[in-house]
């Protein structure tokens, strides 16, 4: 019987002692293998293209090409690679930037070995734990949504290329969620039942392949499907 493949991890940090500490922390996990280490961004990008890691741990404060820039390049070239951004401290601006580059998780470096192992496993399964970080801080979520709205409003992409796999009603509901409305408030505004709102949200999450309302809104704003001042009167 073929043994299950291990999660291949690449560690990117300019401090050898920290890299060694992570390697030791992961050695006890039978399903995780550290396939390489890099101390700078250029080396990390080359190793990613050669080793095809499942998960990349990257320090946000690398010298030269910083961790966010490295993450952006890796996600562009290897979209299936999960990125975990590590920082000395958690910061709203860093969290926002980590979301923009497509990171799956963002955490401070004081994370416990057990928590890191769990995070790697979840990211390797395709989960976006960064959503939890946003949802845990409502003020951060509000800022993230606001800034993505601004980005969408100034997007110069041809509108004809922005295909939304959602009905007009689902777009309406997403816009209500982006404005901070609860299910009950959405039901009242759109003159539908709360259960109908829940059914639409379930459909939206399935179509966009996301796990929560906040990420659904972020996807819709990035795609340009909803914008500041959006209104829609047609029924879905």
pLDDT tens digits for range 130-163: 766 666 656 666 666 666 555 555 544 433 333 4
CA distances from 213 to 46, 74, 174 (A): 36, 27, 8
Both 124 and 182 in a single domain? no
Range of the domain at 181: 139-223
102, 135, 168: which is the final residue of a domain? Answer: 135
Last residue within a domain, chosen from 100, 119, 135:
135
Token duo for residue 170: 């689902």
What CATH number has the domain bearing residue 113?
3.40.50.2300
Both 14 and 120 in one domain: the answer is yes
**Average pLDDT of the residues in 14-38:** 94
Q: Which residue has the tokens 């990171």?
A: 103
Same domain, yes or no: 83 and 177: no
User: Structural domain tally of the chain?
Assistant: 2
Residue 106 lies in a domain: yes
Q: What is the pLDDT of residues 175-214, one digit of tens each?
A: 888 777 888 999 999 999 999 999 999 888 888 888 788 7
Q: Which residue has the tokens 């890796």?
A: 74
Of 101, 135, 169, the last residue of a domain is 135
Q: Is residue 233 part of a domain?
A: no
Rounded Cα distance between 224 and 119, Å, is 30
Average pLDDT of span 69-85 = 90
Q: Residues 22, 129: one domain?
A: yes
pLDDT of residue 230: 35
Contact predicate 122/130, CB 8 Å: no
State residue 157's pLDDT score: 44
């Amino acid at each position: 019987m073929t043994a299950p493949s291990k999660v291949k991890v690449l560690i990117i940090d300019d401090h050898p002692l920290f890299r060694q500490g992570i390697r030791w922390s992961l050695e006890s996990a039978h399903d995780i293998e550290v396939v390489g280490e890099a101390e700078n961004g250029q080396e990390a990008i080359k190793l990613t293209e050669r080793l095809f890691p499942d998960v990349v741990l990257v320090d946000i404060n690398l010298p030269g090409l910083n961790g966010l820039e490295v993450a952006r390049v890796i996600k562009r070239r290897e979209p299936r690679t999960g990125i975990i951004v590590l920082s000395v401290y958690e910061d709203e601006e860093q969290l926002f930037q980590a979301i923009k580059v497509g990171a799956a998780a963002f955490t401070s470096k004081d994370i416990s070995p057990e928590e890191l192992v769990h995070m790697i496993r979840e990211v390797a399964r395709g989960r976006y734990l960064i959503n939890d970080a946003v949802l845990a801080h409502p003020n951060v979520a509000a800022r993230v949504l606001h800034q993505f709205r601004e980005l969408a409003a100034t997007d110069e992409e041809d509108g004809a290329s922005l295909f939304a796999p959602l009905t007009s009603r689902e777009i309406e509901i997403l816009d209500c969620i982006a404005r901070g409305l609860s299910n009950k408030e959405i039901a009242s505004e759109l003159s539908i039942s709360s259960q109908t709102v829940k059914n639409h949200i379930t459909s939206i999450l399935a179509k966009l392949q996301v796990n929560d309302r906040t990420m659904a809104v972020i996807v819709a704003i990035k795609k340009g499907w909803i914008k500041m001042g959006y209104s829609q009167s047609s029924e879905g």
